Amino acid sequence: MKNIYVGNLDLATTEAQVRGMFEPHGSVQTVTLVRDRETGNSRGFAFVEMTSDGEAETAMHALNGTLCGERALKISEARSKGGRADRSPQHRN
């Protein structure tokens, strides 16, 4: 299973629309559209889990740079949450 970062989404994009972009390339396990905790509005990025690494690679190459509304998508393999520790407020100087 591969977790894919989908960035630069139009703020009106829904989880169903993101799923629809990826399903022609293979089996989509989950789609998580990241939302602001306070407002519930989209933050402009999502994570897609695909069951096959090969299908995920195909989808990433096919969709990276394509337009979503008026924005060019930025698609890459998602980084693990472990890499976020350096960006947390208590670690800033």
- Which residue ranges form the domains of the chain, and what is each CATH number? 2-44+52-79 (3.30.70.330)
Is it the case that residue 84 has pLDDT exceeding 90?
no
Residue 27 has a pLDDT of: 97
Residue 69 has a pLDDT of: 85
Residue 93 has a pLDDT of: 43
Q: Of the ranges 33-37, 55-59, 67-71, which one carries the lowest mean pLDDT score?
A: 67-71
Report the alpha-carbon distance of residue 13 to residue 80 in Å, rounded. Answer: 24
